[in-house]
Amino acid sequence: MGKFIQEFKDFAVKGNVMDMAIGVVVGGAFGKIVTSLVNDIIMPGVGVLTGGLNFTDYKFVIQKGVTDGTEIITPEVAITWGSFVQTVVDFLIIAFCIFLAVKVINRFKRKEEVVEAPAAPAGPTQEELLTQIRDLLKEQSKK
């Protein structure tokens, strides 16, 4: 039992698990930012460009609802295909925003990697190598 607990502890505190947990939390917060961007900034513009078209209103009614005044006796049964289309459009916009964000982050990472890369040690020049060979040959001829 002690070995099992130790293995679990080693697993839980590994950097990968902690990185993943941080990624989930930051991803959730980022998801809220992207959702707000889509709902509050992009979609109103799309609504203006399409003349107020809202796909969520489109549906295929299978069975009409039955009401008695304000009381619903039998609810409407419908395939809300417009809502599905709206969800797909939202997904495509969100996926594009995330793509752009990852592209920007990767560009910053590449710049950091270039800056952090240590300079390769300079090797001897051709003249230095020839001088070393000449000196070695002189030593061998003296022996």
pLDDT, tens digit (0-9, with 9 covering 90-100), for 81-91: 888 887 787 78
pLDDT score of 115 = 62
Cα–Cα distance, 66 to 71 (Å, whole number): 9
Q: Are 57 and 49 in contact (CB under 8 A)?
A: no
pLDDT score of 117 = 60
pTM above 0.75, yes or no: no
What would the 3-class secondary structure string for 6-42 be?
Answer: HHHHHHHCCHHHHHHHHHHHHHHHHHHHHHHHHHHHH
pLDDT score of 106 = 87
- Mean pLDDT on 12-26: 76
pLDDT score of 109 = 81
Q: What is the H or E stretch that residue 62 is in?
A: strand 60-63
Res. 133 pLDDT band, cuts 50 70 90: confident
